[in-house]
Amino acid sequence: MEIIPAIDIIGGQCVRLTQGDYSRMTVYAKNPLDVAKQFCDAGIGRLHLVDLDGAKAGHIINYKTIELIAGHTPLVIDFGGGLNSHDDLKIAFNSGAQMVTGGSIAVRQPEMFRQWLKDFGPEKIILGADARNGKIAIKGWQEESELTINQLIDSYKADGIDKIICTDISKDGAMKGPSFELYNNLMKDFPEQKFIASGGISCFDDVLKLKVNGMYGAIIGKAIYEKTITMKQLEQLAVNNEQLTIEN
């Protein structure tokens, strides 16, 4: 299972929100590059970087942070937040992102998202399927669409969508465990897709359970910053993903 730490950016700083609420924000680091370098030191190769300012504004804002991390670390960056035009996509890739995650655009501008899949391929374009109360949320989780997660995924199967980052917003930042039932149902309904769990991971046991259940990947955010998952454990995951053990 791919272990992917997360860095969320507001005002150039590393932050975490609780359940997508911008009024419930905690700043964990002034310099996201320092955090990214810690992940590198732990042997991590991937990073999920989210522009929360961009997600709220509807266009990419914190592209300088992509440049900073891409220019000073070997991390493979998948970037999301505010990608709503071809110009936004160009800025993200030119700034150093190797992959992008499209959420709002996949709902609001499906033809543009399909064109991205056609032009860049599913290895570079990830579908962001984030839901609250069973419905897909968009625009930095500030708006709710009429689509369910299953409807959104099903609408892109014919376009070759491969990787899907799925977040149960009610779990995000709550540190009460991921939405295991949701992920198990999605893997059953869409066995050919690669699902990446995001939101709610609170401890090493959660990561173990996601792996056992067959998840392709897991994005870990607040648990790292609150140190309920340690850098030592991340290093253990990176060095030997086949033999996971729990640090007592």
Q: Which residues are catalytic?
A: 8, 130
Residue tagged 């999301």 (tokens): 80
Q: Which amino acid, residue 10?
A: I
Residue 123: exposure state from Cβ atoms within 10 A (0-12, 13-18, ≥19)? exposed
Q: What would the DSSP string read from start to end of 92-123?
A: HHHHT-SEEEESHHHHH-HHHHHHHHHHH-TT
What residues contact residue 136 under an 8 Å CB cut-off, 6+ apart? Answer: 103, 107, 129, 130, 144, 145, 147, 148, 149, 152
For 102, list phi and psi in degrees, rounded to 5.
Answer: -110, 120
Is there a contact between 84 and 109 (Cβ–Cβ < 8 Å)?
yes
